[in-house]
Structure 1
């Protein structure tokens, strides 16, 4: 059976990367289900944005409660009193230990309940800020563990793994979702929709990639 006859679960935050993955999954699979996690994140608005996008894209949406994360380890994504920062040689204060390990495990359990064999996540090793749970080696290892734990044959897909932010914008453009991803998503650590506050690390990375892609596109159009 080809992928266009199969079903996938997309780990979905409503941000640039996961929304680009959602459009990729809609093009790739016959049916798509999204799952968003409420883990005490800095902006609960993220959940509302994800829900709205899922509705607009006509895909089934689940919200799972993982609020225990805020009890386990201090980090700037679940504790608003902590500054968003990164010391040289250390992980950013936004790192949530074990987040992708738990998210993908929960997505696998959901997939088994809804009859999906594919799990899609927007993790990326190119722009991963040092997060160990965004590495390709981790994803491959977890895929094996997930299948062994449930005696099943899931496939974890990471369409952004080897892309930088400019290439992610290019993918969104090729999927005919560039304007939607630019204007309708929430990636900003300060909770500003669209292109964000322009100052936090997430916005800087996103906007640098956007500017680089637009410049490359102008150059290519000038040569054609």
Structure 2
């Protein structure tokens, strides 16, 4: 009987590399994607399906969450809040979506229990991220404990976060080494045709590629 990993996949580089690492570790991939009325929802969804097909996912879950649009409170889900383009700032940025990873992990736990998966994989990055509190290793570990307390006795899920202590340049190098189709991934917070190159996510991505000495294969308005 094959072992299964539920991989939360945004369509971005980090979650894609994480899924490829699980695949290479011998797991069948159950790909899970969330649409939550984010600005680049259409592009992220397209990227997810292309990547899930490329990795040979055993099953795909393409899930809609209307809650975040009603909640607002983030530049990613509220069109009245501008996505910052002036560079990374101290503290929690306005692109933080309240408790997003907690909600994603809870839904992924339900999928894992239903599918009999041993692992949930999430591509959080602690050191070189945008300062999101729900990307911290200590938080993810606490969610693992809560998930196992709140599921059937025979359900025993481990949350893997293989990139949590890496920097973006290390992630780029690892993605190249694992033959990740980086041209299929999308990181921009603002645009769906050409990446803007100036939002926090684009800046982190471009800086990572620069430090790794690798050319980013996706199109940009401004590099």
Q: The TM-score by the shorter chain falls in which range?
A: 0.7 to 0.9
Matched residue, 1:189: 189
Aligned equivalents of 2:178, 2:192: Cα separation in 1: 24
Give the conservation status (yes or no) of the 8 Å contact 1:9–1:120: yes
Aligned equivalents of 1:128, 1:205: Cα separation in 2: 8
TM-score by length of 2: 0.87
For residues 11-39 of structure 1, give each alpha carbon's deviation from its aligned partner in whole angstroms, at most 9, with x where no partner exists. Answer: 01111111111211111133111000111
1:54 to 48, 52, 55: 52
Mean Cα deviation higher: 130-139 or 23-32: 23-32
Aligned equivalents of 1:158, 1:43: Cα separation in 2: 24
Mean Cα deviation higher: 69-78 or 112-121: 69-78
Give the conservation status (yes or no) of the 8 Å contact 1:84–1:92: no
1:173 to 137, 154, 176: 176
Matched residue, 2:40: 43
Matched residue, 1:6: 3
SS in 1 for 2:96: coil
Give the conservation status (yes or no) of the 8 Å contact 2:7–2:120: yes
Matched residue, 2:74: 75
Aligned equivalents of 1:82, 1:43: Cα separation in 2: 15
Structure 1 gaps of 5+ residues are 216-224
Give the conservation status (yes or no) of the 8 Å contact 2:127–2:164: yes
RMSD in angstroms over aligned alpha carbons?
1.9
| Residue 28 of structure 2 is aligned to residue 22 of structure 1 | no
Describe how 1:91-110 pairs up with structure 2 within 5 A: 91-110=92-111
For residues 96-136 of structure 1, give each alpha carbon's deviation from its aligned partner in whole angstroms, at most 9, with x where no partner exists. Answer: 11100010110011011111010000001112222110000
Query: Per the alignment, do residues 146 and 193 of structure 1 end up closer, same or farther by CA in structure 2, a change over 3 Å counting?
Result: farther
Compare relative contact order (CA 8 Å, sep 6+) and give the higher one, 1 or 2: 2
Query: Per the alignment, do residues 175 and 108 of structure 1 end up closer, same or farther by CA in structure 2, a change over 3 Å counting?
Result: same
Give the conservation status (yes or no) of the 8 Å contact 1:18–1:122: yes
Aligned equivalents of 1:208, 1:191: Cα separation in 2: 18
Structure 2 gaps of 5+ residues are 215-223
Matched residue, 2:28: 31
Aligned equivalents of 1:31, 1:91: Cα separation in 2: 35
Aligned equivalents of 2:89, 2:184: Cα separation in 1: 33
Give the conservation status (yes or no) of the 8 Å contact 1:35–1:62: yes
Matched residue, 2:218: none
